Amino acid sequence: MNTSLKPDSEQSTFVKKDKKVFYMIGIVLLVVFLVIGNFILNGYYLRLINLVGINIILVVSLNITNGFVGIFSLGHAAFMAIGAYTTAILSYPLDKKPFIFMEMPEWLLNIHLPFIVSLILGGIFAVCFAFILGYPVLKLRGHYLAVATLGFMIIVTVLASNLREITRGKSGINALPTYTNIWWVYIVAAITIYVAWRLLNSSYGRGMLAIREDDLAAEAIGVNILKHKMMAFCIGAFFAAIGGSLYGHLVSAINPNMFSYSMTFGLVVMLVIGGLGSIPGAILGAVLITLIPELVLNKLERGIEVFGIQIPQMYGVSQVIMSIALIVILILRPKGLLGKNT
């Protein structure tokens, strides 16, 4: 017998320590990169870095519902819209508010809150909607649930288009203060990842995974299915609303079209490519699908020169390439790049 082998418990402790060291090194490198980038990068690249962070928030929060519990929700963009509009209205400067919201009720017109307070209230407001929607909708399964959450997204965008006194309708809310910066985005992203990780490694997380694998078996061993689904749905809605608020104050404008089908399916694609149920997979999917089209594929659309050969403009080629890549990944890695494929 080889006595040099360590017991399983010691090996497990050693692996955990290695992971902690690896994560700490990664965090330090990220902070250094953000500090240096904040000073030397131009506005375009800073905006792109912010967009990566916002998509990480959105995809990781979507992973809590779609990945951990197996709820196929298509309503994430609706919670983004709720958060974005709430934060924009509550934090809009008082001196400019009467010129933008000419028909807004007087009591709402005179409200101005700090950005952080508005951000949190936007998340809480989204949780209230998720709680109200969750009780009837989360009892559904499969494509019925997906269609119901998609219907909720449509309702929210229609309301945003028609409540002109508050949302300015299809014109949207313009000239938003650009409160969003690297520090806001990546602090919130770190909190989102931490909450998702703690949830996954808790008794509630194990219950969620049991529901995802077999909800009838989970219910048979005492897991409260509706409670666990509701918790995941509300937590995902909270961070989706905050992500939507940060996005609105990054681009300094919001309108109903920003939170429609394309936004919803874009987030789902990021999660599917990265890996359903995997937190690193959600992060990887958000990073890849944000950077590759912007830094690589968009150059093909504008036309580039490769080894002296001029490639002409090919508008729409980025969507074609991304679609082919998605099909290939689903064939070769059905559970995503970092999902547990068998």
Q: How far apart are CA 36 and CA 25, in angstroms?
A: 17
Q: Which option is the CATH number for 14-332: 1.10.238, 1.10.357, 1.20.120, 1.10.3470? A: 1.10.3470
Chain Cα centroid distance, residue 201:
20
Q: How far apart are CA 186 and CA 178, in angstroms?
A: 16
Chain Cα centroid distance, residue 179:
19
Long-range interactions of 203-207: CB distance < 8 A, separation 24+: 204/228, 204/231, 205/68
Over the stretch 11-51, which tens digit does the pLDDT of each residue have? 555 555 666 677 678 778 888 888 888 888 888 889 999 99
Q: How far apart are CA 118 and CA 90, in angstroms?
A: 6
Over the stretch 165-180, which tens digit does the pLDDT of each residue have? 999 988 899 989 989 9
Tokens of 111: 């409200």
First-last CA distance in the chain: 33
pTM: 0.90
Phi and psi at 306, nearest 5°, equal -125, 115
Domain extents in the chain: 14-332
Q: What is the pLDDT of residue 329?
A: 86
Over the stretch 255-306, which tens digit does the pLDDT of each residue have? 999 998 889 889 999 999 998 889 999 999 999 999 988 887 777 777 666 6
Q: How far is CA 8 from CA 11, 12, 15, 18, 309, in A?
A: 5, 6, 10, 15, 58
Tokens of 173: 């809310």
Q: How far apart are CA 164 and CA 105, in angstroms?
A: 11
Q: What is the pLDDT of residue 116?
A: 94
Q: How far apart are CA 207 and CA 215, in angstroms?
A: 10
Coil, strand, or helix at residue 94?
coil
- The average pLDDT across 308-337 equals 80
Tokens of 24: 């700490």
